[in-house]
Structure 1
Amino acid sequence: MSLVKPNRPRFTDVEELAAMVGHGDSLGVGGHHFARLPIALLRAIAGSGIKGLRYVCWAGGLPLELLLEVDAVAEVELCFSSLDIFGLPPRFRAAAETKAVPVRDWTALAIIQALRAAQQNLPSMPFQLPAGSDMLARVPGASAGSDPIAGTDTGFIPPLRLDTFVVHAQRADESGNVQIIGPRALDFAMAGAARKVLVTVEEIVPVGALRHDGRQSILTRNQVSAIALAPGGAYPASCLPFYVTDYQRLSAAFATRETPLADNLRLPSEGVPELLQKAAKVRAETVIAMPALAHSEKNASVDEIIAARIVAELDNESFASAGAVSPLANVAYRLAKATHAPDMIIATMSCGHLDIAPSPMILSLIESLDCETAVAHAGGDDTYSTYYQAGAVTHEIVGAAQVDRRGRVNTIALRKPGGGLIRLPGQGGMADVANMHRDYLLYIPRHSVQSLVDEVEIASSARGLLTKAEREPMGYRTGKALVFTDLCVFQLDQTSRELAVIETMPGVTHQQIRDATGFAVTFDADCREMALPSKNTLAVLRGRIDPLGLRRLEFVSAKERGALIAEILAADRTMVERCIAAQRSPVAS
């Protein structure tokens, strides 16, 4: 199918854009997490009666929930699906667990290369094999073969072509060039692989006006099919610099099933709430200059001990990437950079914000502060080839639902004791980067015989290339492979290729660890008790880096999570109001 579009896109309205999506289309969705999601257009598509869509995207999340609610989706192709701090998406889980909708899991690198093959009119694209995992067999159309030049084992993937790609952006000029500010996710690759590219924007500006903006990416007019003006079109997701994410509205929308999700996400008649618009204008210097919050003198909690222990793995030569949903890792990275490792590089929004400052993790402001302080903005496809595949990233610390004695991870599905499956979010990009990063670091917040098992049912990611002899020919550095839990720290031994305990949490006995582990535990000869964080480390962690305590979200039960989120959202609103007031004051300016 031809991907060539006219030099001038049509200008129309949101309803007409939705009408351009056809029954049975392969549909890609732009944006990332809760940033620049085309919510207004997706609501219109969901309300159009469309059926049989093949949903294709790196992430599912909120867009997929909207379309599943109206039975518009016949197939799902993705790497990951989550509602961020709000947990697993219920409609996605129900569809996957009942097999009402087929779900096919991709690795991030495979989906990037498949989109690139379509974009570049190639019959296939090569990619590094996700060694040690089961993912090659799960990715549609992927195969392993001998590279015709080097003769090494290589993955190959056919083109992934889209009928329609929908995306929200900041601006378009009157000739149809589209401006994207901030991380691009896979927007450019998906636009290049799509027959139709449908865009909603906050503003339409005169030709030439886009030249005056700073860090931006331009989707040129010959890549776009049609554009609609839709101020607030991403709400309640964010669209910087116009407004931040409305976490309060999202929380309320996810809490009820009586009202359709599409109705709960409707833009208010008066437009985006003023508080969210003002929050988008808060500068990083204002937030960083504010006094640190006073902190309690209570003893360090488990989450704080683990965060501080992870910090000890980071130094001035670290390049740490924060994954899709990982508050603990994000906290640890910022804490290290704010204390002993000022030269380390931190990348957030799945490497879309490069080399950020360690700003406080105020939920509503994280994205805007990182966007402002980042040295550069990028797309997920760019950063894979520039950093991940090049072996430049040293750390990406991620949470795991289940790990086995060989350090293999399962984040796809668990089998219930009585039969049936519990669908998990998916592996995102971990199947690829588990081998690419120098250090392979995982954490399990609740150590149990269910989370640490003898053998995982599905190895969604693994450190398949472990030794120097295995890693150097691939261009990867050799480092540590560690698993942190609330009881101990395991290390993957290069000789036995199995986990062994190298540290225990304060006060935890060897027998407690044995009793809570689903395989025979080996203790390293030099196993020691983990040190507690210093008073200074706790002060910086609690008062400066994570004043809302976002790190706690990963250490509470599902039953406690709702109350904790409510507490965090209330504190977040207070902090945002303080920052807005400080921005207005003469002292702040």
Structure 2
Amino acid sequence: MNKVMSLHDAVAKYVESGDAICFGGFTTNRKPYAAVFEILRQGQTDFTVWAGPAGGDWDMMIGEGRVKAYINCYTANSGYTNVSRRFRAAIEAGTLTYEDYSQDVLMLQLHAASLGLPYLPVRLMQGSGLTDFWGISEEKRQTLDKLTNLKFAYVENPFNPGEKVVAVPTPQLDTAIIHVQKASPDGTCVIEGDEFHDVDVAVAARKVIVTCEELVSNEYIRQEPSQNKVFGECVNAVVHVPFGAWPSQCYNYYDCDDKALKEYDKASKYQDKEDAERQIAKEKEKAEKKGLPYTAPVNPETFRDYLDKWVYSCKDNNDVLDKIGGAHLASLKVIPGLGYAKR
């Protein structure tokens, strides 16, 4: 079965407002940014998000107000922004409905979802603030149709009476989007390097979009079956999107775009021009109180400017690649045998 579609059509058909959704990848690794940009262009919203270890992908969605509830362990462009800025601003402002699980538990929840388990018993999180404090109260949870009423529950281990363990819910994912190195028209996928949680969410979700660096034939992908990590029955749409993880890295293909990630870090400090003016005024006031010199940035780029430049002014991912430039993209290509680019 041929599942090849354009990115526009795949997102339009399989990403719906209100979905419980998960993106693959890990902070700055193999994040499906081309698909994220397309969702932003098309306007889908009100997502219940099981984010895993997130980065700028979900930071952008949060900054654009597309997230109804956010379940996460951390959100950071590792090495560039320790805590993603739009995520942090929303937390500090109290505008993001947010629940926090530890990374190990969240990854196990996604795996449990792929196994079809109704819930997952763990010892992890016990004795920590993750059980003492709930980001989303039981009352609030009752208003969110994609979440269980409880963050967790203590249950007795039936094989060791008297021992309590933590039972956590398994995500009921509507949609997953992952970026892979190779995929065939029938949806079989090769993932090189760390799989992260991509295989689990591809198995667990009702609808799965795969974007790939290379589209290869069904016959070719079966030559090395041990390399195939996602089987076609899981996948609804296959989209050929070279550099579809930019500005994050794609193992064995290209490195992180240092310039672009630094640009986003700097721009995402301010939501828009008005926010920039407010923050600069506060910084100036603090400096003056301490008797320190302060030089205000001139016309700083904002989060809104960044999205206008890289998302909304571009019709599709080809426009994005044209704007990046062929020479710069070529500089990101990894050196065979080294696994990273020489810059």
Instruction: Give the conservation status (yes or no) of the 8 Å contact 1:199–1:228.
Output: yes
Distance 1:233 1:262 in 2: 19
Q: Which secondary structure state, in structure 1, belongs to the residue aligned with residue 238 of structure 2?
A: strand
Instruction: Give the conservation status (yes or no) of the 8 Å contact 1:236–1:267.
Output: no
Q: Which residue of 1 aligns with 2:286?
A: none
The residue correspondences of 1:240-389 to structure 2 (distance < 5 A) are 240-256=251-267, 257=302, 259-261=305-307, 263-264=309-310, 266-269=320-323, 270-271=325-326, 273-277=329-333, 280-284=334-338, 368=339
- Is 1:11 the counterpart of 2:4? The answer is yes
- Is 1:238 the counterpart of 2:249? The answer is yes
Task: Name the TM-score, length of structure 1 as normaliser.
Answer: 0.45
- Is 1:186 the counterpart of 2:197? The answer is yes
Q: Which residue of 2 aligns with 1:84?
A: 78
- Is 1:229 the counterpart of 2:240? The answer is yes
Q: Which secondary structure state, in structure 1, belongs to the residue aligned with residue 199 of structure 2?
A: helix
Distance 2:29 2:308 in 1: 17
1:19-61 deviation per Cα after TM superposition (whole angstroms, max 9, x unaligned): 1211111110101121111111100001111121112121232
Of 102, 106, 121, which aligns to 1:107? Answer: 102
Distance 1:262 1:177 in 2: 35
Return the offset for 1:82: 1.2
Instruction: Give the conservation status (yes or no) of the 8 Å contact 1:236–1:246.
Output: yes
Structure 1 residues 109 and 98, CA, compared in 2 at 3 Å: closer, same or farther? same
Return the offset for 1:211: 4.2
Q: Which secondary structure state, in structure 2, belongs to the residue aligned with residue 249 of structure 1?
A: helix
Distance 1:23 1:142 in 2: 27
Distance 2:31 2:322 in 1: 17
Structure 1 residues 109 and 44, CA, compared in 2 at 3 Å: closer, same or farther? same
Q: Which secondary structure state, in structure 2, belongs to the residue aligned with residue 190 of structure 1?
A: helix
Instruction: Give the conservation status (yes or no) of the 8 Å contact 2:185–2:238.
Output: no
Q: Which residue of 2 aligns with 1:472?
A: none
- Is 1:75 the counterpart of 2:83? The answer is no
- Is 1:121 the counterpart of 2:116? The answer is yes
Distance 1:245 1:183 in 2: 16
Instruction: Give the conservation status (yes or no) of the 8 Å contact 1:181–1:217.
Output: no
Q: Which residue of 2 aligns with 1:93?
A: 88
Distance 1:71 1:194 in 2: 23
1:111-168 deviation per Cα after TM superposition (whole angstroms, max 9, x unaligned): 2333333322322221113233121244653122210012222111222111111111
Q: Which secondary structure state, in structure 1, belongs to the residue aligned with residue 95 of structure 2?
A: coil
Distance 1:249 1:211 in 2: 36
Return the offset for 1:204: 1.0
- Is 1:141 the counterpart of 2:157? The answer is no
Instruction: Give the conservation status (yes or no) of the 8 Å contact 2:74–2:103.
Output: no
Instruction: Give the conservation status (yes or no) of the 8 Å contact 1:113–1:126.
Output: no
Q: Which secondary structure state, in structure 2, belongs to the residue aligned with residue 209 of structure 1?
A: helix
Identity %: 25
Structure 1 residues 214 and 244, CA, compared in 2 at 3 Å: closer, same or farther? farther
Distance 1:68 1:109 in 2: 23
Q: Which secondary structure state, in structure 1, belongs to the residue aligned with residue 206 of structure 2?
A: strand
Distance 2:99 2:200 in 1: 20
Instruction: Give the conservation status (yes or no) of the 8 Å contact 2:22–2:50.
Output: yes
The residue correspondences of 1:48-67 to structure 2 (distance < 5 A) are 48-67=42-61
Distance 1:281 1:34 in 2: 19
- Aligned partner of 2:106: which letter? I
- Aligned partner of 1:207: which letter? N
Distance 1:138 1:24 in 2: 26
Instruction: Give the conservation status (yes or no) of the 8 Å contact 1:254–1:261.
Output: no
- Aligned partner of 2:5: which letter? T
Structure 1 residues 213 and 244, CA, compared in 2 at 3 Å: closer, same or farther? farther
1:319-378 deviation per Cα after TM superposition (whole angstroms, max 9, x unaligned): xxxxxxxxxxxxxxxxxxxxxxxxxxxxxxxxxxxxxxxxxxxxxxxxx36xxxxxxxxx
- Is 1:174 the counterpart of 2:185? The answer is yes
* Structure 2, gaps ≥5 residues long: 135-149, 268-301, 312-319
Distance 1:45 1:93 in 2: 22
**Structure 1 range deviating more: 174-183 or 207-216:** 207-216
Distance 1:171 1:82 in 2: 27
Task: Name the TM-score, length of structure 2 as normaliser.
Answer: 0.75
Return the offset for 1:267: 2.8
Return the offset for 1:245: 1.0
Distance 2:171 2:59 in 1: 22
Instruction: Give the conservation status (yes or no) of the 8 Å contact 2:32–2:245.
Output: yes
Return the offset for 1:85: 1.8
* Structure 1, gaps ≥5 residues long: 1-7, 285-367, 370-572, 578-589
Instruction: Give the conservation status (yes or no) of the 8 Å contact 1:17–1:41.
Output: no
Q: Which secondary structure state, in structure 2, belongs to the residue aligned with residue 167 of structure 1?
A: strand
Distance 1:47 1:260 in 2: 14
Distance 1:9 1:81 in 2: 35
Instruction: Give the conservation status (yes or no) of the 8 Å contact 1:253–1:261.
Output: no
Instruction: Give the conservation status (yes or no) of the 8 Å contact 1:66–1:262.
Output: no
Distance 1:142 1:282 in 2: 46
Q: Which residue of 2 aligns with 1:552?
A: none
1:481-518 deviation per Cα after TM superposition (whole angstroms, max 9, x unaligned): xxxxxxxxxxxxxxxxxxxxxxxxxxxxxxxxxxxxxx
Return the offset for 1:282: 4.5
State the number of aligned residues.
280
Return the offset for 1:216: 3.4
Q: Which secondary structure state, in structure 2, belongs to the residue aligned with residue 114 of structure 1?
A: helix
Q: Which residue of 1 aligns with 2:22?
A: 28
Return the offset for 1:69: 2.7
Distance 1:78 1:199 in 2: 22
Q: Which residue of 1 aligns with 2:287?
A: none
Distance 1:237 1:268 in 2: 17
Q: Which residue of 1 aligns with 2:283?
A: none
